[in-house]
Homo-oligomer: A and B are copies of this chain.
Amino acid sequence: MSFNQLKLKNQLCHRLYMASNSIVRAYREPLNGLNITYTQYIVMMALWEQDKITIAELLEKTAIDGGAMTQILKKMADKRLLEIIKDEKDKRKRLVQLTKQGQALKLEAVNIPNEIGYKFESIDSEQAVKLRQLLDLVVSDLRV
């Protein structure tokens, strides 16, 4: 009930806001080399893990907004990174499938996690695990 909780320096949420923006900004330059944005990179990672999945599955894996996803996939298809295929069994669904070019991009991306990782000078791997766990709690607690 205290006004102290309204101070920015006490706010977990503002930290999260800053940290997330910082990360996206940090990825921008490495990803420029691949000609994709951070959000598109998330889509690629999901597809490198499991290809030819429905848009709904992609939304589930990536947690990207559905409305944005439509636009993003369209752009990525324009760039010939992937193709959007109709599911003949259920015509409501669409399958997303990487092109050869999209698959090949994985080789160019393999060092990006390290490029970013090197920047975390003051976070060792144990702390990274801890942070990941705590963030998972945040996400699951806020999940409706």
Contacts and interface: CB of A to CB of B under 8 A. Distances in A.
A67 to B, nearest CB: 13
A6 B121 contact: no
Main secondary structure of the interface of A (DSSP, over half): helix
B110 A6 contact: yes
B138 A6 contact: no
A114 B11 CA distance: 11
A110 B11 CA distance: 13
Contacts of A42: 8, 14, 17
Interface in A6-36: 6-8, 11-27
Given A48-B6, A110-B3, A138-B123, A17 B12 contact: no
Contact of A122 (B38, B121, B137): B137
Contacts of A22: 138-139, 142-143
A45 B7 contact: yes
Contacts of A122: 137, 140-141
A25 B137 contact: no
Interface of A: 1-3, 5-8, 11-27, 38, 42, 45-46, 48-49, 61-63, 106, 109-114, 116-117, 119-123, 127-128, 130-132, 134-143
